Amino acid sequence: MEFQSCFDIIGPIMVGPSSSHTAGVVSIGKFIYEMLGDCPQEANIVFYDSFAETYQGHGTDKALLGGLLGMDTDDQRIKNSLELAKEYGMQYQFEFAEECEYYDHPNITIVTAKCGDYVVKVGGVSLGGGLSKIFLINDKMVDIRLSAGDDLKALARDYQSIEKEFMEAI
Amino acid sequence: MEIQSMRELIKACEKEQKTIGEMMLKMETEKSGRDKEIIIAMMEERLIKMKEAVDRGIKDDSAAPSGISGGDAVKMYDYMNQGKALSGNYISNAMAFSLATSENNARMGVIVATPTAGAAGILPGVLFSLHKNDGTPFKDLVMGLFTASMLGLVIANRSFISGAAGGCQAEVGSATAMAAGTIVELRGGTPEQAVNATAIAMKSLLGLVCDPVAGLVEVPCIKRNVIGTSIAFSAADMALAGIESQIPCDEVIGAMYRIGKDMPRTLRETALGGLATTETGKQVKERLFCRKS
């Protein structure tokens, strides 16, 4: 059961126009921002399938950059995030592909982001209604559910501590 | 407690003598560990944001950045206020409020996804129409949002709610089905009647493809939201009259899932088929985005 809470259905409070192509993508970007602890200096963003076909109409690119800049789904600055990212000195590029080899869904993005010495590769899927999921971090499959109103900072921190324990164990 | 089907939902409501909305509130309290009052306040916040979007949209006749939508909410509201609407106060008010919300969404304004942004006009449309026409208090509308989310949760977990996954039947279809059941509950119908309305509404939209012009959530999405409110009221009226869906709601949801799975990729929000590839649709796309296609 992917959908758990009444707020997965009623919500998020968000800027338009699409819950799956805008709001869900803001959360994926914001999760990466929280993982890095800051907005990345460089970001390579791959949009697959439906994202690749319709990103301009839905502002999917603005949504992802807004998230990477630390914005929430209802932040009215999202519509200006392409310019804001440049002002912040973020180097970004978008690539487009048909199908993703890691996960079967029409709404997928894989982002490689760099902040200082820290580089992460994160795969996210937007499931609809603003709900999304991180399924890949640095070539490892994960299952981190991102819902409206979740504390993404805490989720990213939890993941980092699990990862750290794992690294120390080996 | 997990509710995975409409059948289980009706049984649970009968057993505990609760409405569908009350059942959702109970489940949310148990699962989240939050106080009931906090959960109600969170839902209230969403209702207020919906009202703000309607109030802004009803007065705003500006065009969306694309230039292909905007201004229709004001037209519909004026027409309605002249008392000319053939479809009566309930439906014509819902149409205007739905246009207001969906146009606001296209302008990248703040809205509440119910369950998605593409279908965000339907629930506020019917809820604020009930408020205006029979004085349904806001506190009841908040409970109505719990009803809607319970119905939506069952649909989302058994099938899908996004156009990219299952076509517009999954998106406007699900929102319309949720709205129909919610109207029934707010008008004092039983959980069984609410689920019947949900089934009847969803059946009317089965097979609807997602074919947005230039990939924008505007054409035909905005007007499909409007029509969704009419279907929601018709389905609710049938259920309140005691009419049942011959196909049980869970089976209707199953049919929606299978139809969505059979739907080609070109008709699932990729803007590669249907209205998106009409002559006019292609021209709009070309005008807006000079890119590979």
What confidence category does residue B228 fall into, taking pLDDT thresholds of 50, 70 and 90? very high
Residue A85 belongs to a domain? yes
CATH number of the CATH domain containing A65: 3.30.1330.90
CB contact under 8 A, B105 and A17: yes
CB contact under 8 A, A74 and B24: no
Predicted local distance difference test score (pLDDT) of residue A170: 67
CATH for B6-288, options being 3.40.50, 1.10.287, 1.20.140, 1.10.4100: 1.10.4100
Residue A51 belongs to a domain? yes
Residue A63 to residue B262: CA distance in whole angstroms: 30
Strand A42-48 versus strand A91-97 pairing type: parallel
For the cut 50, the answer to whether the pLDDT of residue B269 exceeds it is yes
Residue A123 to residue A69: CA distance in whole angstroms: 18
The 10 Å CB-count burial string (b at 16+, else e) for B87-117 is: eeebbbbbbbbbbbbbbbbbbbbbbbbbbbb
CA separation, residue A57 to residues A50, A71, A126, B38 (Å) = 11, 20, 16, 36
Predicted local distance difference test score (pLDDT) of residue B293: 43
Q: B residues 157-196 near A, CB within 8 Å?
A: 157, 160-165, 170, 178
CB contact under 8 A, A128 and B115: yes
HEC profile of B21-71: HHHHHHHHHHHHCCCHHHHHHHHHHHHHHHHHHHHHHHHCCCCCCCCCCCC
Which chain B residues are Cβ-neighbours of A127 within 8 angstroms?
A: 162, 165
What confidence category does residue B290 fall into, taking pLDDT thresholds of 50, 70 and 90? low
What's the domain count of chain A? 1
Q: What are the pLDDT digits (tens) for B65-113? A: 999 999 999 999 999 999 999 999 999 999 999 999 999 999 999 999 9
The angle at the Cα of B260, spanning B157 to B200, to the nearest 5 degrees, equals: 70
For the cut 60, the answer to whether the pLDDT of residue B292 exceeds it is no
Which chain A residues are Cβ-neighbours of B215 within 8 angstroms?
A: 53-58
CB contact under 8 A, A13 and B49: yes
CB contact under 8 A, A17 and B218: yes
Range of the domain at A21: 14-169
pLDDT averaged over every residue in chain B = 96
A59 within 8 A of A8, measured Cβ to Cβ: no
What would the mean pLDDT of B31-53 be, rounded to a whole number? 97
User: What are the structural domain ranges in chain B?
Assistant: 6-288
Q: What are the pLDDT digits (tens) for B102-125? A: 999 999 999 999 999 999 999 999
Write out chain A's pLDDT in tens, 170 residues: 889 999 999 999 999 999 999 999 999 999 999 999 999 999 999 999 989 988 988 899 999 999 999 999 999 999 999 999 999 999 999 999 999 999 999 899 999 999 999 999 999 999 988 999 999 999 899 999 998 678 999 999 888 877 777 777 76
Task: Name the minimum distance, in Å, from the CA of A132 to any CA of chain B.
Answer: 12
Least confident residue range of A161-165, B40-44, B153-157, B174-178: A161-165
CB contact under 8 A, B43 and A10: yes
Predicted local distance difference test score (pLDDT) of residue B175: 98
Residue A2 belongs to a domain? no
